[in-house]
Structure 1
């Protein structure tokens, strides 16, 4: 017998390692073709940069350490872990792929899945999660051309539209999932959206001609459609007229197919359902009985699909004397009547989605609204099989966006996309052609084994010839870093926790509320927004992090009801939660149990990737930004202020400048003289928000238009709250629910509602009447930016914003101002590798090398001199200065301190505990309590890291300060870990202490308190700098000096504190005596 090649011996060795010693290679005769297939599989993996190492080792690396976090189960909703993959030749001489799989967390109870025919091409490997459809007999699944399906990476939900588009070009489909914002809005898309809505209103109400006219009139007046008309520079009346041309076809369809309008014979159609068996008669009549749902949203982690079905209808299929009732998807198309494979494929996929909610419809209905013609589309096994195989290929590309190099083991690279097709006609009209060429040149052509069709090289060159090598490298690096960050284990963008974890378990994290029932009637706020009220079926609401304005996903507790609707929390209290949702859920039974999940967007890379793509475009704006940001062209400035300051604004500007200090005045002048950009370094307490507000006032007085942005809504609104006091008009973009209550009246949403704007002319007037527009950096896809360019763009918190996100608003201004301080919080990066590659470098930090563009605000009005000196020593090298003697000498006001001091001397042994008086002395602004002798070890639990002893010390200090007369709201507690925050909050609650804010340093950025208690000192010097500069009058630090001295930034700080005699050693077992003292205090 022929000896097995080494590769195959290794494959079967992996079987033996997994306990499958009864399977041996001797049972199979391996042909040359089998070897070729194996080599092809290995080449595929090498093309992704994977090392060709033994499968057993590869599996061990992939699965080890993560198996406990995997969710595996059998049954209809099975999730299997692939343990081994083997290519074999069966007795008939054909080749199969054998998968050893398990649904057991302990890797026991193994099963065999045999893939035959074209299923062998599924690129599955050890460590992958799969779902299987079919029958399992004797622990063996067989998936072939006639029976069963395999779903690869079922947690990646792909829309039916994307899969249908992949038929013509898989690369385009993957690019559209990656660079979503590059698919531009068009007139045809807008017309299609309006027609969909008119038809959906009609099928739910009436197809009478006068009602259709009414629906069309109402729909083209809706603000969201007016905004798209503005974006595309269209005429509202022309859009209305074009929509009306379709209305007779709507009526014709209703007369032909709808039960209540049909008075004649139903049209004959050809439809064979799989359940019809061998019945050769496909002629039938289809009658639409009713509409069951509109825009039904279905997520299917069973098939790895998601989508919204235009209309879900109940139909009767009449064939001879027999009638069948089915619930089917009805797909609406407004373009040419193609009955194309893409259109039909979309419907076939919707039949799979429908199976999540009800019996298999076996077919769908395709309606072309222009003609009223409808086609039945059967969903047979062959079509489903091929579409699911396309879905698997797409999921594979989306999952394997990153690859490890086989040569440089430590280097990570972007993976190649599906092959470029050579089809000039398809490429000519492709919206992703720019990104396709860019990715090919910047990423794929840098690989040794890159392959581009010769006929496409001129097109790639044409699309990218304006870019330098430095530009391509910038694009490639940021694509890589953003992709790494999106795949971080802490990123929940895919929402798989919704179907993998029960609500009861997620409630512990505070990001979910389950066991909810709907109360009261659903109120329609406006079309597409519905107010729902929920309460717990049993008991009060759990403790939750959810608050008004948070984005949420609403699902049913029942497994088939995922993602029924999206929306916002409107109001939440201990008994109920009110949500504004995008669907009316009153059609569901009153007994339906719901769950709310916070829609966490830890890393939404759609917008930054879109900005990155836009930066590479061949436009004047993008060229200028590439010159400044990538190539570091020095920014230019005008020499004389008189050349930019209008004569009639000089007195106003001079009056405004009088209220500023010298560095602030220098910042104003630098901005006015700039031709490109200015950087304003806002050191702690230097009045950064006031400076920005003043800058906006001056620019407004000079007649300039200003785009005001930041990463967070709160940062934008803090500036607007100050600006509103000066009676300067501005337009606030964004959802009103996310905006500060006092700013909501300035939002586009509220203005449109209060003025009842229903015409494009009025909307244009609104946009044109405001020279100051404010939004977050993520809000730059608003239609206003398609036709408006601002003189200045101001970005607050710029040092905390990643480069591609910060880029967004800069495309819409002639000059920009970045305000921040890179000595404080950097952009949040979860992925270590992305951080190491430089993702935490903000645009502010990158451009700071051009010193002539930088102005520093150094006069601060927050901290007294002793607290300020810490920050000067740690970070600012003595640059910070107090704004006045009053600020420098300010101390905490404790009106009851004398009484508290007396109590402490009574209940604590003062001779042995001198620190207990000193720490509360108002004239001691800075104290460090050394816990070296106190047993205060950190504990790592399920909820995270905590230190109970340190928490008790902090609560003791807080109690005494309150007793001494400090308001609880003037005290802030900062801790680095969520579990520590929870423990401190629990202890405060037990001590009946309310209104004391306990939070992480990230949440305290830009804010301050009279007293700051900082436990578990932060090893990151920038976070430490932020923490200590939150205190105005008193700062108390806790920690173990010997342990903290090992970290250079902390060692530097501790050396300064020691030299100033500000470190106090706590005696051993002091935490126990404090509990006694606190008890005595509370009894008094």
Structure 2
């Protein structure tokens, strides 16, 4: 019997309560859909999209119309379980089981097993036409004809949407522009739909609504040159320099927030106080801004800023006070909205909590000739208004008409007449939503590799869609457009291939980050509404049932405590309903309220964007991006719960797109180097200035390399403590001894992918007692290094000149690649002799391009770079499949670029080995560390042989030579194992209890044994009079977060305070860590799960390298204990070899 049918039969036999039964049924449907679409390159945003696609592929609707309607209804019920009663679910359950098992039979092309035949006696209801009662209707396109667009509704209904129709007596809808964009399977949202004479009509039609488009992106499509979706594209690729006007806009926004918060407090912020806060948060951008180098421009900035503060103060304290519509005590600052209905998202500057007032601030000029708004600003406000009108309700639950929303544009440049009350404009809104649809389609085009066709054919004149003065066009607009296009169109053949292939790769990552992928459960930002709360909790992506316990004086740090009800495990599909949330300190999140007893849904109301400040045993603390006034919403209330989910940062992708443009703007020499068009230079005349013992050869090779150097650091070889530190020391010593007029001399940039690695670099710098400057935020930085943050160092500076001097005088700058890329204006202030990239094997090429491509006065801002990593450990996280990211362009394959998911580090290794997978020790640009000081020889043996061709050797340190250091008088099996075996394998077969349902991601037997082992380690350390340190003694690696929660629950039973503090995590989280003892629980109990364990492999020199297993096996210093189902694991050759290598299974 197929495993899906086996699981379904098992679920039915368990006789679970009705809700748990439906959770299980839905999980089987999702698993079937994911398995059937896993290898496809189509973008699916959720279960509905996959079900529709597969039904079309099977002609299921045409061949089995009643079964099709029932499976659609079943999916819809599962998506709204919290809104249905137990009686409603029970009334439909037998029919839903029939629909599911019949659908599975067609999907896997197998006859229905005998067990399910009795369900065929339940007759499907006759097909009836249902009336539409919906504010918005999600449909799939099932056909396209001259008559219109054929649609399938969420319950399987058929509709026809005509190309042209009247919305009302003033508006018509012309959908012809959608013709080139749509195809069978495209999703549309029909907003405010109605039926008329057999046709389905709607006020608005939204193309692929799960691709949320930021309102500022929509506005960018409307330029001085006219309306064009290609305005958005060029804006995406434009390399921007920070200007004083941009900075003034940011400062004016801060001042508005300050004045609103200060209203009624008795203290108004002075200009100096406001400026100091602004400088602390924007120091790098300010001092790097060329305008601030000019004394007159600098003074002009301060003059304008003082004027804006006074204007804002007057408006808030005088004008607002006279306008009875505006209630400052109800004002919320910078709330965000995710409007799936219209496919848009945005952040409003100022909103009244009842949503009857919204305001958007602009620091620049209005249309002074007509004393009215600029069109771009007006469109932005209209889109905010449309969100509130269509998708939200006021504080009393009433729908919001346009007349109910007082919409303002605040031009804070003007002392009088700057507050414009605006009226709706339906026709202009239609233009804006049409632009939104075109941008969503353009993003899909980019992800499908169509950028070259678009950009190569574009000319500046094609973007001139409105009449504009010839002088303005020729002097300002056209040169800007031509500059962006020429950068791409005049590149060399290999540069174009690289640019377009990487653009496609990043655009596809961008789309998948929005809509998700079947490779990962509850993935993509659209999971916020496409996945049920149960699915999101299961993936660890939702923390709900939270209540506000308090908010600190800064009105931005909120403490939330969990009020989650205890759940009966026997009534749940999982052994542990409380899955450990997948959140970490510093994560960007959204925080939103929902009615107690309801289902959390980020679309229903405003959300607050925040960072996690701390994770606590009873909840968490979050820090809002925008401080608030004391408003009722943020006060503790028993009738309101709060939820936290992961946020999506559009800026991370826009930074990457611009990095690709930066590459085309890099010096010809750097472009040629990175694309293998010239050989890297080596100066063998250079000698060492310092003595580094056994590392002299490494440091000398790194010094003689004039362009780049690659250091491979296998586990435990000290790639940071020895490799990075010694190369850094030699560079500092050489710059001190040698006189040079090069402004880069002695300046060193240290970057890494993760903040944890940057913390480790900082620890080494502090031991060296060398001054450094760290780029980043407080929450992403360990407390002991925060004093070196730029934001902290700026507190000691009185003005921008002192900040500039402080930055210029500091020789070492440290930060993550993301922080340095986001602050690339750093290169306007400093040039660097050397950039050392740690964790280089985890960084994708586009993520490094802005740093490596930076130039100043025609020279590379970074003269040389050293990359440190290990391509045999876990690589960068990539969402698309290996087949999708594969490179086919011959010119790129010639330079070693085989797959976009590979790091630049890995490509350069291949380039220096003649595109072979055999690394030559003789290469002058590559050095592999081989002396490891972490693992005992026996612990390292398998990984050393299987993945490193026996090249690793012990230093040796004392713990690598001695016998097992633990002794015990206990005679139990765990004590014997821990005192006699360096590496062990414990054979555990998962047992399934009748009537107790468990997820495949939970293995209760393994969890119990792992907890017993951890307890045995604690007893052993106590017996040996050793200190049990949760951060150093023992760690547990398992593949699933469900299993982490189950193990923690088992540990609680021992009532020992240290045990819950140990690290229990996935292998991805353990990379870079070590413990004395590591327990690795494989957890898996079904053959299909082996794919997940083995999904990170490649071949080098004829060896299969399993990166995930390599990391898991190289974290332990003293003892390694493996646990799993030996028979199942032996189905994989590497796992079988591992078990055989360990020897006797216990």
TM-score, length of structure 1 as denominator length: 0.73
Residue 771 of structure 2, aligned match among 716, 725, 729: 729
Q: Which residue of 2 aligns with 1:441?
A: none
1:102 paired to 2:174: no
Partner SS for 1:848 = helix
**How far apart are residue 1037 of structure 1 and its match?**
3.2
- Deviation for aligned residue 1:767: 1.0
For 1:57 and 1:218, the matched residues in 2 are separated by 55
Q: Look up the match of 1:572.
A: 615
**Is residue 1058 of structure 2 the alignment partner of residue 1013 of structure 1?**
no
Deviations 1:587-625 (A, max 9, x none): 3433454322233679953333332221122x32xx333
Aligned residues of 1:59 and 1:126 also touching (Cα < 8 A) = no
- The change in CA–CA distance for 1:987 and 1:219 in structure 2 (over 3 A counts) is closer
Aligned to 2:383, which of 345, 349, 354? 349
SS of 1:825's partner is coil
CA distance in 2, matches of 1:240, 1:63: 71
Change (3 A) 1:616 1:876: same
Distance 2:191 2:534 in 1: 29
Contact 2:229–2:435 under 8 Å retained in 1: no
Of stretches 501-510 and 850-859 in structure 1, the one that deviates more from structure 2 is: 501-510
Distance 1:520 1:989, change over 3 A: closer
**Alpha-carbon distance between aligned partners in 2 of 1:874 and 1:214, rounded to the nearest angstrom:** 65
Residues 463-488 of structure 1 deviation map (CA, whole Å, 9 limit, x = unaligned): 34653212211222222222333315
User: Equivalent of 2:879, from 821, 825, 830?
Assistant: 830
> How far 1:861 sits from its partner (Å)?
1.3
Structure 1 residue 778: Cα displacement? 0.8
Conserved? CA contact 1:81–1:129, under 8 Å: yes
Q: Which residue is 1:1022 aligned to?
A: 1107
Q: 1:875 aligns with which of 921, 938, 947?
A: 947
Q: Residue 679 of structure 1 aligns with which residue?
A: 710
> Contact 1:891–1:1034 (CA<8 Å) still a contact in 2?
no
Q: Select 2:728's aligned residue among 686, 696, 706.
A: 696
Specify which of 814, 839, 844 is matched with residue 900 of structure 2: 839
Given that residues 312 and 327 in structure 1 are in contact (C-alpha distance below 8 angstroms), is that contact kept between their aligned partners in structure 2?
yes
Q: Do the aligned partners of 1:119 and 1:143 also contact (CA within 8 Å) in 2?
A: no
Q: 1:943 to 1:231 in 2, by over 3 A?
A: farther
Distance, in Å, in 2 between the alignment partners of 1:880 and 1:248 is: 67
**1:1063 matched to 2:1143:** yes
Alignment CA distance shift 1:943-1:83 (3 Å):
farther
**Alignment-derived partner of residue 760 in structure 1:** 800
Q: Which residue of 1 aligns with 2:29?
A: none
- 1:174 CA displacement: 3.7
Partners of 2:957 and 2:644 lie apart in 1 by: 52
**Partner SS, residue 817 of structure 1:** strand
In 1, the alpha carbon distance for the partners of 2:263 and 2:999 equals 55
Corresponding residue of 1:360 = 401
Deviation of 1:777 (Å):
0.9
> Which residue does the alignment assign to 2:937?
865
Work out whether 1:397 is the aligned partner of 2:442: yes
- CA 1:694–1:956 in 2, change beyond 3 Å: closer, same or farther? same
Instruction: Look up the SS of the partner of 1:523 in the other structure.
Output: coil
For residue 965 of structure 1, what is the aligned residue in structure 2?
A: 1021
Which of 226-235 and 991-1000 deviates more?
A: 991-1000
Question: How far apart are 1:819 and its partner, in Å?
Answer: 0.8
Please report how far the alpha carbon of residue 158 of structure 1 lies from its aligned counterpart in structure 2 after TM superposition. Answer: 2.5
What does residue 162 of structure 1 align with?
217
Q: Distance in 2 between matches of 1:244 and 1:602?
A: 34
The alpha-carbon deviation at position 491 of structure 1 amounts to: 9.2
- Aligned with residue 233 of structure 1, among 272, 290, 308: 290
Aligned length: 892
The DSSP-based 3-state class of the residue aligned with 2:1021 is: coil
How far 1:864 moved relative to its partner? 1.9
Distance 2:751 2:1067 in 1: 22
2:711 match: secondary structure:
strand
CA distance in 1, matches of 2:474, 2:997: 55
2:875 partner SS: coil
Quick check: which has more Rg, 1 or 2?
1
- Residue 976 and residue 747 in structure 1: after superposition, are their counterparts in 2 closer, same or farther (change >3 A)? same
Contact 2:448 2:504 in 1 (8 A): no
Displacement, 1:977? 3.3
Q: Please name the residue that 2:818 is paired with.
A: 778
Say whether the 8 Å CA contact 1:402–1:414 is kept in structure 2: no
Query: Equivalent residue for 2:194?
Result: 136
Alignment map for 1:979-1018 (pairs within 5 Å): 979-990=1042-1053, 992=1055, 993-1016=1059-1082, 1018=1093
Partner-residue secondary structure (3-state), 1:483: helix
Which stretch shifts more, 506-515 or 728-737?
506-515
Please give the secondary structure, in 1, of the residue aligned with 2:502: helix
Q: Does 1:301 align with 2:340?
A: yes
CA contact (8 A) 1:400 1:415 kept: no
Q: Which residue of 1 aligns with 2:468?
A: none
RMSD: 4.4
8 Å CA contact 1:326–1:361 kept in 2: the answer is no
- Provide the rounded CA distance (Å) in 1 between the counterparts of 2:244 and 2:948: 54
CA distance 1:463–1:723, shift in 2 (3 Å)? closer
Asked if 1 retains the 8 angstrom alpha-carbon contact of 2:134 and 2:193, the reply is no
2:303 to 225, 244, 256: 244
Label 1:1048 to 1:593 Cα distance change in 2 as closer, same or farther (>3 A).
closer
> Which residue of the partner structure matches residue 1031 of structure 1?
1116
Selected match of 2:247 from 190, 204, 208? 190
> SS where residue 765 of structure 1 aligns?
helix
Q: Deviations over 1:110-138 (max 9, x none)?
A: 55544524432234444333333335358
Residue equivalent to 1:598: 646
Q: Alpha carbons of 1:928 and 1:368: their partners in 2 closer, same or farther (altered >3 Å)?
A: closer
Task: Check the 8 A contact 1:100/1:111 in 2, yes or no.
Answer: yes
- 2:893 maps to what in 1? none
Structure 1 residue 785: Cα displacement: 3.1
Match of 1:895 in 2: 967
CA distance in 2, matches of 1:175, 1:426: 19
Contact between 2:840 and 2:905, CA under 8 Å: does it hold in 1?
Answer: yes
**Is residue 468 from structure 1 mapped to residue 492 from structure 2 by the alignment?**
yes
Q: 1:978 maps to which residue?
A: 1041
User: Which is bigger in relative contact order (C-alpha 8 A, separation at least 6)?
Assistant: 2
Instruction: Give the conservation status (yes or no) of the 8 Å contact 1:797–1:819.
Output: yes
Stretches of structure 2 lacking an aligned partner (at least 5 in a row)? 1-42, 44-50, 61-67, 81-131, 166-172, 395-399, 465-471, 567-577, 596-600, 736-745, 855-860, 888-898, 913-922, 1023-1027, 1083-1089, 1098-1105
**TM-score, structure 2 length as denominator?**
0.69
Q: Structure 1 residues 774 and 570, CA, compared in 2 at 3 Å: closer, same or farther?
A: same
Q: Secondary structure at the match of 2:1121?
A: strand
**Deviation at 1:632?**
5.5
Shift of the alpha carbon at 1:1042? 6.0
In structure 2, how many angstroms separate the alpha carbons of the residues matched to 1:56 and 1:515?
A: 33
Q: Residue 615 of structure 1 is aligned with which of 655, 663, 671?
A: 663
Q: Following the alignment from structure 2 to structure 1, what is the Cα–Cα distance between the partners of residues 715 and 162?
A: 64
Give the 3-state SS of the residue equivalent to 2:938 in structure 1: helix
Tell me the alpha carbon deviations over residues 346-397 of structure 1, each in whole angstroms, 9 at most, x when there is no partner: 2322321343354334474445444444554321332222322222222222
Inter-partner Cα distance in structure 1 for 2:339 and 2:158: 26
1:52-63 paired onto structure 2 within 5 Å: 60-61=56-57
Which one of the candidate residues 674, 686, 696 is aligned to 1:665?
A: 696
Aligned residue among 485, 497, 501 for 1:477: 501
Classify 1:637/1:596 alpha carbon distance in 2 versus 1 (closer, same or farther; 3 Å). Answer: same
Q: CA deviation at 1:519?
A: 3.8
Query: What is the alpha-carbon distance in structure 1 between the residues aligned to residue 1014 and residue 288 of structure 2?
Result: 54
Between the aligned partners of 1:240 and 1:523, the Cα distance in structure 2 is 34
Distance in 2 between residues matched to 1:562 and 1:988, nearest whole Å: 39
CA distance in 2, matches of 1:383, 1:605: 29
Q: 1:151 aligns with which of 200, 206, 230?
A: 206
State the Cα deviation string for residues 468-514 of structure 1 (Å, max 9, x = none).
21221122222222233331514988633334556676344433322
